Chains A and B, each alone.
Chain A
C-alpha cells in the first residue's frame, strides 16, 4: 500500500515539476517567439511582392535561400513594409495591397492546401491587372526536408514570378518536369516541379488552382472599394 502511494505521489510530483518548467520557459519566450514570427511574416509578404532590401534582388540572392534568411535590417524592414503594404478586409478575408507611387500595384492573400505530410500555408501576390502572379512564399509546411521542403527555396519560388494567370478560368496553372525559361523571361502558366517530390509539388499546384479563383473574383469586384478605403 505504501509503495503504491509513493508511486502515485512521485508521478504527480515529477509531472508537475516538468510541466512547470515547460510553462515557465514558454511564458518567458512567447513574446520573443511572437515577435520573431511577425518579422517572418513581413519578410514573406515583401518577398512575395518581389520587394527587396536596398542592393538585393531576385538574381542576386542564393538559389537555395529561404525568404526568412534574406538579410533585412530591422528598421529598413519595418519602414518598407509600413510604406508599401496595406491591409483591407473583404468578405472576412485579409487582402494585402501593395502601394507604389500612391496607387495600388498589386494584391496579396493567404492560401492553404494539403501537402504530403500536412498543411501548406502560403502567401500569394498578384499584379494590379490580375493577369500575372508577382510571387509566392510559404509560411508553414511540414514536408520532407531535402525533398518536399525544397519548395521553400528561392529557385523554386522564382518560377512563380510573372506566372501567367490571365486566362485562369480556362487555362489553369500547370506543373512541368523541366522548364527551360523562367516566367520572367517568357511568361507561361507553368512551374517546374521539385525532383523526387512530386506529391508535395502537386500539393502546391492544387492549392493554387483551388484557391486563386475565388480571390481573383473577390478582388476584381472590389477594386474600387479597396482604392476608396485606402484613399488611393
Chain B
C-alpha cells in the first residue's frame, strides 16, 4: 500500500474523502449539535483534539497490540482520553465543561474516531496518524459549521446568539418580524440541511468529473 503524503492526507480528509459527506460517519452528533453554531464549534474542537491524540497513541503502540483485542484497546484509548479531558475541564474551566458536558458521550461513540483508528492509525506511522486525526476532525468540523450556520439562522434567527433575522425582516418592512422555522431546530431540520449540502457538493463533484472527460 502506497503511503500517503501529508498533503494528500489533508486534502482527502477535508474534501475528497470527507468523513461526514463522503464516508457518512459522525452523523449522530451532526444532528444533535448543529442547531447552534457555538455548540458545534465546541463539539468540533473537542472531537478534533480527541481524534488526533487517540490516533497518535494508537499508532505508537500499533505493533504490539494483539489483533483479537484491537477494538477494545481502541475504545479504551478513546474513552480514557475523553474522560480525562472532561475531568480536567470540569476542574479548571467549568463553564466550558458545562457546554461540552452533554457531548462527552457523543464524542466517545463518534464513528469518525473509531473509523480513523481502524482505517489509518492502526497501520500508519505516528506523525501521519496524528495529522490524519487532526484533519479528519477539521473535515467534520467545517461541514458541521456550515450546517449549523443555516440551522441557527433559520431556526433561531440568530448568528452566534446575535438576533439577525428579526431586525432584517423589520428593516425589509415586515412589521411582524421573523417567525422561527422550528423544523430547523429539531432533528429533521438537520437531516434536510445535511442532505441539501451533500446534494450541492456532489453536484459540484460530478460537474468536475464531467469536465475532465
Residues of A participating in the B interface, judged by any CB pair closer than 8 Å: 3, 6-7, 10-11, 14-15, 18, 21-22, 25-26, 29, 32-33, 36, 40, 64, 66, 68-69, 142, 144-147, 149, 195-196
B186 in complex: contacting residue of A33, A145, A147, CB < 8 Å: A147
- CA A142 to CA B73, docked complex, whole Å: 29
Interface 0/1 of B62-93, CB less than 8 Å to A: 00111011001100110010011001101110
Which residues of the other chain, A, contact B110 by a CB distance below 8 angstroms? Answer: none
- CA A146 to CA B39, docked complex, whole Å: 8
- The answer to the question of B23 belonging to the interface, with a C-beta cut-off of 8 Å to chain A, is no
Which residues of the other chain, A, contact B45 by a CB distance below 8 angstroms? Answer: none
Which residues of the other chain, B, contact A196 by a CB distance below 8 angstroms? Answer: 180, 182, 185-186
Q: Is the CB of A18 within 8 A of B91?
A: no
Which residues of the other chain, B, contact A25 by a CB distance below 8 angstroms? Answer: 84, 87-88
Interface 0/1 of B174-205, CB less than 8 Å to A: 00000010100110000000000000000000
Task: Using known A-B contacts A68-B94, A68-B95, A145-B39, determine if residue A22 contacts B65 with beta carbons closer than 8 Å.
Answer: no
Inter-chain CB contacts under 8 Å: number? 76
Q: Is the CB of B102 within 8 A of A29?
A: no
- CA A6 to CA B67, docked complex, whole Å: 11
Q: Which of A7, A14, A68 has the most CB of B within 10 A?
A: A14
Q: Is the CB of A147 within 8 A of B185?
A: yes
Q: Is the CB of A7 within 8 A of B66?
A: yes
- CA A14 to CA B94, docked complex, whole Å: 30
Q: Which of B30-38, B126-134, B137-145 contacts A (4 or more CB under 8 A)?
A: B30-38
Name 13 interchain pairs, CB-CB below 8 A, sorted by A. A3-B66, A10-B64, A10-B69, A11-B73, A29-B88, A32-B91, A32-B92, A144-B32, A144-B102, A145-B33, A145-B102, A196-B180, A196-B185
CB distance from A28 to the nearest CB of B (A): 8
Summarize B's interface: helix, strand, loop or mixed: helix
- The answer to the question of B98 belonging to the interface, with a C-beta cut-off of 8 Å to chain A, is yes
A146 in complex: contacting residue of B36, B80, B182, CB < 8 Å: B36
Top 10 A-B pairs ranked by shortest CB distance? A29-B91, A32-B91, A7-B66, A146-B35, A146-B36, A18-B80, A196-B185, A36-B94, A196-B182, A33-B91
Which residues of the other chain, B, contact A69 by a CB distance below 8 angstroms? Answer: 95
- CA A36 to CA B97, docked complex, whole Å: 12
Task: Using known A-B contacts A7-B69, A147-B35, determine if residue A64 contacts B90 with beta carbons closer than 8 Å.
Answer: no
